[in-house]
Structure 1
Amino acid sequence: METGPKIEHTITTIWFTLVMAASCTTADDALRMSFLPLETGFQLLAGLNLAMGAFADQDQPIKSTNDGFAGPGPAIGARGHLTFGSSGLDIVLDLSVLTATINKPGIEHAIREEYAFAGNMNVDTKARMWWVGIPLTIGPRLGIEVRPGFAFYGVGLFGVAFIKMPDISFESPIVAGTYEHTPTVGACVAGELGVTFTHLVCGARIFAAPSLEIDSHETLSHAGVDTSDRYTRANAVQSVILFIGYRF
């Protein structure tokens, strides 16, 4: 009797079966414990953008300052996220549109400061559009559920932002002119804290584009003489956004 080959075949079959069983168990455990994305989500946000710091200041001459002369404006955003297991950790991709109005009295004061030779002249200004910022950011989000459907969360975001400073025109009895500003792109960061309740989201975000270079073009008409000048403004956009949203 040739028992050797049969015994060898039986041992091989048992070994293969055990390996397959172990592999299935290991894969199943790994699937349960993995941090591969298991869930996606989407949010729509709307709120109020409040200018801060130099972005809201209005104390210096218009041409020689980094003051932004910015006031409050509406903000909207859309956000997608990938959830990693049951860890409470997400990766967030956020696209927002932030606006800020122009403080008309502040701009007029800055123009009078710029052209002090004209004395305390009456100035009438017009702004084409508002400040507009469109940041595209990505970062981690950590949520802590305190009861079913209710959680606190924090988000850290970084990315790039498209920024457009409004063009300004002004008239006075002595001098008139325009300030035109080229759109720019710069790095930005944001930090956010909030709460979620079932499908509702509300929170506050601090946003900053700390180092922007804005190419500007000044044209003036004074005493029948037209002049033109190009220069670069160094502006920083800083704001707090208060928002409410819906989670799909």
Structure 2
Amino acid sequence: MPEVDTHPLDTARKLAESGDLDGAATIFTQLAADPAEPDRAQAAVGLAVVLQERGDAPGARTAARTALATGHPEFAAQAACLLAQSFEQEDLLDQARGAWQAALGAGNPAYVPLAHMALARLAAGQQEAEEALRAALATADPEIASRAAQALAELLLEDGEAGEAAEALLTALSVPDVADVPRLRALLGIAHLEMACAEFAGAIEEGGDAETAALAIELLARTLPLRGRDEDAERVWRYGLDSADERLAEDVRLRLNRGA
């Protein structure tokens, strides 16, 4: 029976899988060095992986750049990701950001969500991080959109932007098969609590009749501890109890004692 002709790329891959990294690297190097080789991009990616496993980071990056330069829709994007991860491992963050941007530029939608999340992680400032997280959320990837919404919501809540946080979480929850729904809903509840606190505080500041003011004071004072703000809750109660409006102060006192 005649032998089946095996493509060198398959041979190199099998050698790598069997642990013969040197043999695989030799074949991958030959294929990646030939501009006319139709599998040059794939070979260069294979070479980058093998060299990285051998501990040759500079060589792996050179191979990844070769694959990236081909502009191949699949393997150029893979190469950019490998390049970025290599830079991250050595805390070369500027270079890593550039490589993740190259992954975006490759135009392969399969790598876009991952790249946006990486750029958010490596962002130089909060505004840059928020922009990258919004871009990751917009990809509607079930896993990445969930992670992006959670991270974005937490940043926005820290800045007092509960409404925007809620919008981001609702966007994620609208993604089909989105991951980690319980966590998204819990964060949405927190955002709603923050918005409720803002509304209660606004009602108190705007005045109005004593009954409404007392109700707003009670609701705010009982909601704040749910966000770990016990001292703020005490100040709200004290504000009502010390009011010059005797009717308001008495109504607040009754509400406080009712819950004691």
TM-score after normalising by structure 2: 0.23
TM-score after normalising by structure 1: 0.24
Higher RCO, Cα 8 Å, sep 6+? 1
- Larger strand percent: 1
- Larger helix percent: 2
